[in-house]
Amino acid sequence: MFADALVLAMSLWFAVALRYGDAYVDMTLFWWHFPIVAAAGVLALEKFGLYKAVIRYIGPSSILPVIKGITVAAIVVSCASYITGTSSLPRSAPIIFWFIAIFLVGAGRIFVRIYFYGLFNSYLMREPVAIFGADDSGVELAIALLNGDQYVPVAFLDGKTELSKKTIHGIRVYSPERLDSLIDQYGIKRVLLSLAEIDEKHRHSILNGLSSSPVQISVVPRIQSLVDGSEEPEIREIDISDLLGREVVSPDEALLSSAIYGKNILITGAAGTIGAA
């Protein structure tokens, strides 16, 4: 809070200096505005819940309390100057203050988050992955990975044209056909997808399309599956049972042996995912 109070007072000082175009303006004319804007801003930021947020996990939603709090501070200092009848504070100063304060208060928290989060180091050390599907489950997975320390999502793969080239949580959505170029661009070695969200009709075509690229395909559980305990909370490699879309039926070894023992076998459809496996 004390740091924010100083930042708010400095923001007003910068605003006045920019308004007059002179860094050496006699600030004694405006001295009483500084404690007012600092107190009003800190109280407003607290009221709107900014100080309840954990800085390490601060996100875009935390910008709204900053905007609300700074807006209140700008209005209060403007009203105070108007009510007292003083014309010392330029009318445009609160507007300039609004932009400066939002940047400084918001940026300060982002830099602190970067420090705790280890953004520069962890991004270099974490494995870049692509997430197949920019739906709710894909976005939930991306958020979880961004707060983790093993994988960093660098791209969404989604065939929906309305999502193409859009950005979600700072991650761009690409067409699945772009995977090969994304592998070269980001060094992607793994694609994560939730098969539970994909019907059997599209499951085979998706997996066959991904199998032609030199990436590892990993299956992730749904968030709901973790909550109800129906799936293990881990990323695992794709399995034959995932491709079948049904329960695995064990072969009759005696029947199988009599049919293939000592014979040359031809496997058709080996270019597909199931045949290759």
pLDDT score recorded for residue 217? 80
Instruction: Residue 13: give the domain boundaries.
Output: 2-117
**Listed residues 86, 117, 148: the one ending a domain:** 117
Q: Is residue 202 part of a domain?
A: yes
Tell me how many domains the chain contains: 2
Q: Is residue 31 part of a domain?
A: yes
Q: List the chain residues with pLDDT less than 70.
A: 53-61, 85-87, 113-124, 194-204, 221-248, 269-277
d(CA 154, CA 173): 9
Q: Is residue 43 part of a domain?
A: yes
pLDDT score recorded for residue 230? 45
d(CA 58, CA 113): 7
pTM of the model: 0.50
User: Could you tell me if 111 and 130 lie in one domain?
Assistant: no
Q: What is the distance, to the nearest Å, from the Cα of residue 20 to the centroid of all Cα atoms in its chain? A: 40
Q: Supply the CATH number for residue 153's domain.
A: 3.40.50.720
d(CA 163, CA 144): 21
d(CA 203, CA 201): 6
User: Could you tell me if 173 and 139 lie in one domain?
Assistant: yes
User: Could you tell me if 150 and 237 lie in one domain?
Assistant: yes
Q: Is residue 242 part of a domain?
A: yes
